[in-house]
């Protein structure tokens, strides 16, 4: 169903919240009645066949009351979510209108389009120059209307359940309103989510996974459970991806060995089919790379902390919840899941460097996560844009916050480090500029810039350290200090600069791509040795 701006303006979340309050009160009354029947003193002394029959009858009454209470709670939570989403959509619309007016535009509520305001209409040159802004506002409006359509469906479902026109969704049995609320609408905040998660039984956790197979990505879930549910999801996604490859291949089995030789050796139909097959094969191979990343040839356990169907994953060496030293490694441009093993090898090298930097550390004391939970620029010319970093910043913030929440409370707080390589350092910087990045150390490696004018602009915990290094022959030198901020290695930036091997140069001593990824080439590279020291909690890095 199409939703217009006029429809959104007419929405009133207060009316929907009345449904929530009424349904919640009915649920609580049913639960109280059920509990009250069970506590009647007569059942403590009454015996005989009549008592048994009464208990059975009362037991059925309690089950009916509990079922009624759960149904009322389901209606209440559906209404509350719809009301919250209505408020969110109306708030977004108000912000969009304000942004449009400040840029000289208006939003037409009839046609659902962004149009020129009076000032721009009178200035043709200005109107042409502002067309890009109008298109951006229109894109936001289209996305907002899509969200509104989803909210409209939620609202219609809540009303249908309240009137009996739609069945109440099945769920695990519970007469605890707090638990039922968790099952209906898990909290977003990592701390609140962890507190809620710990109240659930295994059956209830499994039911949540059935409703949302991405639940294992939630910051605030312990890594043991993250790994459990994400591995289950990985198996499902892998089978689905391979089935898609097989389906496309079966469309034209005669083309499996190549395009037809005649009459047209490369017909359009073949090219279209081959493109779809290659894309499906690529997705399947990416899941295969994640599966490979979970193998433990060195005997160290791996934990699948993040997995989705959009090319994102994160795999940890050892359990971050039990480690006293944890590092999050953020790869950069061109590093999608098809190259996961190469980033994972760097994480493994940093684990070894950390163990060497502090011989008192035991095997499980150190954890390193290869974090690929953002859309990386896949081409060099795209890497000049800060948009990829800003768009992925919140995901890194949430991951780091989740590490704090789920860390074993019996242990002292862990020392957490974020290491961003290339554009990964830009993403790391965006996380610290756009919001709060919970890391004791941040390290910019071969960075083109971290979107901060200086180290002090990063919003980090008190006492946090900002480090930076760059190989002498790293080709990133040619891009540093341009569109992504000043050079993090420069003395004026305020980071602690440290030594790296120069890396191999191209002929005539020119900077090279090879040097850009040389920081992990061998265990004797000063950069890798310094990574280990930083992760171990030391600050005695060797200067450049």
pLDDT at 114 over 70: yes
- Do residues 340 and 471 share a domain? yes
Identify whether 469 is part of a domain: yes
Range of the domain at 151: 5-181
Identify whether 193 is part of a domain: no
Q: What is the mean pLDDT of residues 263-281?
A: 85
Q: Which pLDDT value is given to residue 397?
A: 97
Highest mean pLDDT among 156-165, 264-273, 407-416, 535-544: 535-544
CA 376, 348, 314, 394 torsion: positive or negative? Answer: negative
Identify whether 75 is part of a domain: yes
pLDDT at 521 over 50: yes
- The total domain count for the chain is 2
169's enclosing H/E stretch is: none
Confidence band for 135, pLDDT divided at 50, 70 and 90:
confident
Distance from C-alpha of 522 to C-alpha of 536, rounded to nearest angstrom? 19
- Do residues 303 and 171 share a domain? no
pLDDT tens track for 407-431: 976 567 899 999 999 999 999 999 9
The three-state secondary structure class of 120 is helix
Q: Which pLDDT value is given to residue 44?
A: 47
Q: Of the residues 181, 211, 237, which one is the last residue of a structural domain? A: 181
Q: Which parts of 361-514 are beta strand (E)?
A: 366-372, 415-421, 441-445, 465-469, 496-497
Average pLDDT of the chain to the nearest whole number:
84
Q: Of the residues 181, 202, 224, which one is the last residue of a structural domain? A: 181
Q: Of the residues 156, 181, 206, which one is the last residue of a structural domain? A: 181
Identify whether 371 is part of a domain: yes
Confidence band for 50, pLDDT divided at 50, 70 and 90:
very low
Cβ-Cβ contacts under 8 Å for 333 (sequence gap 6 or more): 376, 377, 378, 379, 380, 382, 383, 422, 423
Q: Choose between 113 and 225: higher pLDDT.
A: 225
Q: What is the mean pLDDT of residues 204-219?
A: 90
Cβ-Cβ contacts under 8 Å for 530 (sequence gap 6 or more): 467, 469, 498, 499, 500, 541, 542
Identify whether 345 is part of a domain: yes
Identify whether 203 is part of a domain: no
Region label for 226, one of left (φ > 0), alpha (ψ between -120 and 50) or beta (otherwise): alpha
Percent of the residues in the chain that have a pLDDT greater than 90, as a whole number: 51
What CATH number is given to the structural domain containing 330?
Answer: 3.40.50
Identify whether 37 is part of a domain: yes
Q: Which pLDDT value is given to residue 121?
A: 58
Cβ-Cβ contacts under 8 Å for 142 (sequence gap 6 or more): none
Identify whether 162 is part of a domain: yes
Q: Which pLDDT value is given to residue 348?
A: 97
pLDDT-wise least confident of 68-72, 246-250, 448-452, 464-468: 68-72
Confidence band for 203, pLDDT divided at 50, 70 and 90:
confident
pLDDT at 275 over 50: yes
Q: Which pLDDT value is given to residue 42?
A: 47
């Amino acid at each position: 169903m199409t939703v217009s701006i006029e429809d959104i303006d007419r929405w009133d979340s207060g009316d929907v919240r009345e449904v929530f309050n009424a349904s919640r009160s009915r649920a609580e009354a049913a639960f109280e009645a059920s509990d009250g029947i069970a506590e009647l003193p007569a059942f403590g002394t009454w015996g005989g066949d009549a008592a048994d029959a009464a208990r059975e009858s009362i037991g059925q009454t309690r089950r009916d009351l509990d079922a009624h209470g759960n149904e009322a709670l389901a209606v209440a939570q559906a209404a509350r979510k719809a009301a919250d989403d209505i408020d969110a959509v109306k708030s977004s619309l108000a912000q969009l209108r304000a942004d449009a007016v400040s840029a000289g535009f208006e939003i037409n509520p009839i046609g659902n389009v962004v149009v020129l305001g009076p000032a721009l209409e009178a200035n043709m040159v200005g109107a042409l120059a502002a067309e890009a802004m109008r298109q951006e506002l229109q894109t936001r409006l289209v996305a907002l209307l899509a969200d509104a359509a989803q909210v409209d469906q939620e609202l219609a479902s809540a009303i249908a359940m309240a009137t009996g026109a739609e069945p109440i969704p099945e769920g695990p049995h519970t007469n605890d309103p707090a638990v039922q609320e968790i099952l209906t609408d898990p909290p977003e905040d990592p701390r609140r989510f962890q507190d809620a998660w710990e109240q659930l039984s295994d059956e209830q956790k499994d039911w949540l996974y059935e409703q949302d197979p991405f639940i294992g990505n939630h910051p605030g879930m312990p890594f043991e459970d993250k790994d459990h549910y994400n591995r289950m999801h990985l198996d499902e996604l892998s089978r689905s991806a391979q089935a898609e490859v097989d389906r496309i291949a079966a469309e034209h089995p005669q083309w499996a060995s190549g395009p037809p030789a005649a009459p047209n050796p490369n017909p359009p139909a073949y090219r279209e089919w081959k493109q779809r097959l290659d894309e499906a094969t690529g997705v399947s191979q990416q899941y295969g790379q994640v599966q490979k990343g979970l193998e433990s040839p060195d005997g160290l356990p791996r934990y699948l902390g993040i997995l989705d169907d959009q090319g994102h994953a994160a795999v940890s060496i050892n359990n971050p919840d039990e480690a006293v030293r944890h590092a999050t490694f953020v790869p950069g441009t061109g590093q999608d899941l098809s190259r996961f093993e190469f980033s994972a090898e760097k994480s493994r090298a940093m684990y070894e460097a950390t163990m060497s930097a502090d011989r008192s550390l035991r095997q499980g004391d150190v954890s390193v996560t290869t974090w690929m939970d953002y859309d990386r620029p896949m081409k060099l010319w795209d890497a000049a844009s800060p948009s990829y970093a800003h768009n992925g910043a919140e995901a890194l913030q949430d991951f780091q916050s989740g590490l704090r929440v789920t860390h074993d409370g019996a242990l002292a707080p862990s020392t957490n480090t974020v290491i961003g390589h290339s554009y990964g350092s830009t993403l790391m910087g965006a996380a610290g500029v756009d919001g709060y990045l919970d890391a004791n150390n941040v390290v910019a490696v071969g960075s083109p810039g971290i979107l901060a004018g200086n180290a002090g602009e990063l919003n980090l915990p008190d006492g946090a350290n900002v480090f930076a290094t760059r190989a002498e022959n790293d080709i990133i030198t040619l891009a540093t200090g341009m569109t992504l901020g000043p050079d993090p290695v420069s003395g004026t930036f305020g980071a602690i600069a440290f030594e790296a091997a120069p890396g191999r140069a191209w002929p005539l001593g020119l900077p090279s791509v090879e040097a850009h990824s040389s920081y992990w080439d061998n265990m004797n590279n000063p950069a890798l040795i310094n990574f280990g020291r930083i992760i171990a909690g030391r600050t005695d890095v060797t200067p450049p």
